[in-house]
Structure 1
Amino acid sequence: MHQERQPKVACFGEILWDLFPGKDKQAGGAPFNVGYHLHQMGIDVHAISAVGKDALGDELLQRLSGWKLSDAGIQRSDTHATSTVVATIDEDNEAHYEIKEGVAWDYIELLSADQELLKNADAFVFGSLATRNEVSRNTLFQLVENARYCVFDVNLRPPFVDKNVLLALLEKADLVKFNLAELNLVLSFLGKEYANELDGMSFLQDHFRLSEIILSRGASGATYFTKENNFTLPATKIKVNDTVGSGDSFLAGFLSGSLLGLNAKEALEQGICLSGFVTTQSGACPDYTKADIEAMKEKYRNQS
Structure 2
Amino acid sequence: MTGLFTFGETMGLVAADGIGPLPYARSFSFGIGGAESNVAVGVARLGGEATWLGRVGPDATGALIAERLGAAGVRTLAITDDSFTGLMVRHRRSAQFAQVDYHRAGSAGSRLSPADVPSAELSASGVVHVTGITPALSETARAAVFQSIETARAAGVPVSVDVNYRSKLWSRFDAAPVLRDLVSRADVVFASPEEAELFVDPQDVPAALAKLGPAEVIVKDGARGCTALIDGERHALPVLPVTVIDPVGAGDAFVAGYLADRLAGAPPADRLATAIAAGAFAVTVPGDCEGAPTRAELAALKGDDVRR
Query: Which category describes the TM-score, using the shorter chain as reference length?
Result: 0.7 to 0.9
- Aligned equivalents of 2:236 and 2:303: distance in 1? 18
Paired with 1:291 and 1:163, the residues of 2 have a C-alpha distance of 39
On the 8 A contact 1:32/1:47 being kept in 2, the answer is yes
TM-aligned CA distance change 1:143 to 1:113, over 3 Å: closer
Would the aligned equivalents of 2:41 and 2:73 in 1 still touch at CA under 8 Å?
no
Encode CA deviations 1:110-152: one digit per residue, 9 max, x unaligned. 3476211111201111111111201111111111112111111
TM-score by length of 1: 0.88
In structure 2, the partner of 1:139 is: 144
Distance in structure 1 (CA, Å) of the matches to 2:116 and 2:88: 30
Gaps of 5+ in 1: 300-304
Match of 1:99 in 2: 102
Residue in structure 1 matched with residue 194 of structure 2 by the alignment: 181
Match of 1:39 among 33, 36, 44: 44
Secondary structure at 2:29's aligned position in 1?
coil
Provide the secondary structure at the position in 1 that maps to 2:241.
Answer: coil
- Distance in 2 (alpha carbons) for counterparts of 1:96 and 1:143: 31
1:48 to 16, 39, 53: 53
- Alpha-carbon shift at residue 93 of structure 1 (Å): 3.0
**Corresponding residue for 1:63?**
68
Q: Is 1:18 aligned to 2:13, yes or no?
A: yes
Task: Provide the secondary structure at the position in 1 that maps to 2:160.
Answer: strand
Per the TM alignment, residue 23 of structure 1 is displaced from its structure 2 partner at its CA by: 2.8
Contact 1:254–1:271 (Cα < 8 Å) also in 2: yes
How big is each residue's C-alpha offset from its partner over 1:15-74, in whole Å with a ceiling of 9 and x where there is no partner?
A: 111211133112111001000001111111111211001121112112123223222x22
Name the aligned partner's letter for residue 96 of structure 1: Q
Q: CA 1:59/1:183 → structure 2, altered by over 3 Å: closer, same or farther?
A: same
| Residue aligning to 2:206 | 201
- The residue type paired with residue 18 of structure 1 is L
Is the CA contact 2:86–2:108 (under 8 Å) kept in the aligned structure 1?
yes
How do 1:161-180 and structure 2 match up within 5 A?
Answer: 161=170, 162-180=175-193
Matched, 1:271 2:278: no
The CA distance in 2 between the partners of 1:87 and 1:43, in whole Å, is 30
Indicate yes or no: 2:290 matched with 1:286. Answer: yes
Q: Cα distance 1:163–1:268, how it changes in 2: closer, same or farther (>3 A)? A: same
Kindly state the Cα deviation for residue 298 of structure 1 after the two structures are TM-superposed: 5.6
| Count of residues in correspondence between the two structures | 283
In structure 2, C-alpha distance between the alignment counterparts of 1:121 and 1:65, rounded to whole Å = 18
The aligned residue for residue 240 of structure 1 is: 244
Deviation at 1:226, TM superposition (A): 2.8
Contact kept? 1:49, 1:74, Cα under 8 Å: yes
Output the aligned Cα RMSD: 1.8
Whichever residue aligns with residue 300 of structure 2, its letter is A
TM-score (norm 2): 0.87
Residue 159 (structure 1) aligns with: 168
- Pairwise CA distance, 1:234: 0.7
Q: 2:23 maps to what in 1?
A: none
Question: How many Å separate the matches in 2 of 1:298 and 1:152?
Answer: 33
Aligned to 1:88: 91
Cα deviation for residue 11 of structure 1 reads 1.1
Look up the SS of the partner of 2:168 in the other structure.
coil
SS in structure 2 opposite 1:24?
A: strand
Moved more, 216-225 or 91-100: 91-100
Tell whether 2:229 aligns with 1:225.
Answer: yes
Quick check: 2:216–2:230 contact (8 Å CA) kept in 1? Answer: yes
What do residues 225-273 of structure 1 show as CA deviations (whole Å, max 9, x unaligned)? Answer: 1352111111010000101100000000011112112211111010010
Conserved? CA contact 1:108–1:139, under 8 Å = yes
Change (3 A) 1:172 1:204: same
- C-alpha distance in structure 1 between counterparts of 2:302 and 2:290, whole Å: 18
For residues 57-111 of structure 1, the C-alpha deviation after alignment (integer angstroms, 9 at most, x for no partner) is: 112112123223222x221101x10010111223243432212211111111334
Provide the identity percentage.
26
Structure 2 CA distance for partners of 1:297 and 1:115, relative to 1, 3 Å: farther
